[in-house]
């Protein structure tokens, strides 16, 4: 759900460092200040911070972001990066504060809004997450728009808004019919809407493309097989769920519905 940039190669990082060092002085704390070009120093500081975030080196990331904010305390990307640091270190109050600062400075940043939506989803604040993602999917040029549709569909599902969830998954599926996981999400959405025929159709598309179904998919297959009185499929999926995922929440639910076998 989170949207991050691709990890730069080692060579790119070294070249970035050389760009900074060519016009920088280094303080005792390791911070670098580009006297000739503050904008370049800011760009490199944020880039290095993101590299450290991907590596899980939170202190190094914060050190470079401190430099970035000293250069420009109105830089939206610096606040977003800080939000990611605090989100990963479990300091959620500070994470939200920095997400909001970033969006206040650049409300059109779909990547930031998508990450903020993912953060709210993580906190199970599904309604708030959906509001953020609804704005993200309106950006037709956003590169991760497909993923945002999927995330929005999950929010709607957890909010019990099954028609809205189906619509988001359907739009995503039209954008990428090769994503078979989306076929499953559509099958599940149609099942929740009690359209079992359509649910079975999408489930079959998913099943044909999957070697080993996860517990969630097997549980859906079991319920569909029950709806269509398909005893062979019901027996097969039930056995697979029991053998492969005996401690899963789906198997516990299966026992409640079909009896403790």
Residue 260: per-residue pLDDT? 59
pLDDT above 60: residue 124: yes
Whether residue 61 is found in the same domain as residue 145:
no
Whether residue 69 is found in the same domain as residue 82:
yes
Token pair 């999917």 is at which residue?
137
* Mean pLDDT along residues 58-75: 94
pLDDT above 90: residue 76: yes
- Residue at 221 is within a domain: no
| Distances from the Cα of 90 to the Cα of 113, 125, 218, angstroms | 19, 16, 33
Whether residue 3 is found in the same domain as residue 29:
yes
Instruction: Tell me which of 76, 106, 136 is where a domain ends.
Output: 106
| Full domain range(s) for residue 179 | 107-183
Beta bridge partners of 25: 33
The counts of H helices and E strands in the chain are: 14, 2
Asked whether 81 and 52 are in contact (CB, 8 A), the reply is: no
pLDDT above 80: residue 6: no
Q: What is the pTM of this model?
A: 0.81
- Residue at 246 is within a domain: no
Residue 261: per-residue pLDDT? 53
The structural domain count of the chain equals 2
Please give the Cα distance from 119 to 1 (Å, whole number).
Answer: 9
Token pair 């044909």 is at which residue?
208
- Residue at 11 is within a domain: yes
Instruction: Tell me which of 183, 218, 241 is where a domain ends.
Output: 183
Instruction: Tell me which of 154, 183, 212 is where a domain ends.
Output: 183
- Residue at 250 is within a domain: no
Please give the Cα distance from 189 to 113 (Å, whole number).
Answer: 25
CATH code, domain with 48: 1.25.40.10
Q: How far apart are the first and last CA of the chain?
A: 37
pLDDT in tens, 181-193: 999 999 999 999 9
pLDDT above 60: residue 150: yes
């Amino acid at each position: 759900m989170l949207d991050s940039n691709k990890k730069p190669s080692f060579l790119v990082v070294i070249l970035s460092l050389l760009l900074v060092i060519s016009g920088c002085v280094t303080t005792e704390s390791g911070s670098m200040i580009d006297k000739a070009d503050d904008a370049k120093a800011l760009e490199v500081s944020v880039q290095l911070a993101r590299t450290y975030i991907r590596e899980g080196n939170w202190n190094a990331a914060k050190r470079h972001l401190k430099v970035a904010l000293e250069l420009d305390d109105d830089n939206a990307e610096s606040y977003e990066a800080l939000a990611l640091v605090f989100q990963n270190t479990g300091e959620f109050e500070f994470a939200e504060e920095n997400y909001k600062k970033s969006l206040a400075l650049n409300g059109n940043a779909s990547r930031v809004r998508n990450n903020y939506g993912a953060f709210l989803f993580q906190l199970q604040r599904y309604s708030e997450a959906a509001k953020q993602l609804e704005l993200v999917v309106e950006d037709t040029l956003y590169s991760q728009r497909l993923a945002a549709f999927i995330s929005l569909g999950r929010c709607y599902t957890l909010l019990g808004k099954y028609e809205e969830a189906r619509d988001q998954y359907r739009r995503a599926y039209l954008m990428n019919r090769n994503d078979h996981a989306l076929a499953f999400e559509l099958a599940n959405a149609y099942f929740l809407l009690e359209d079992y025929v359509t649910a079975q159709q999408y489930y079959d598309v998913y099943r044909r493309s999957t070697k080993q179904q996860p517990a969630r998919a097997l549980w859906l297959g079991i319920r569909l097989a029950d709806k269509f009185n398909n005893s062979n499929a019901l027996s097969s999926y039930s056995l697979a769920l029991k053998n492969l995922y005996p401690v899963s929440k789906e198997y516990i639910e299966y026992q409640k519905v079909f009896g403790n076998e």
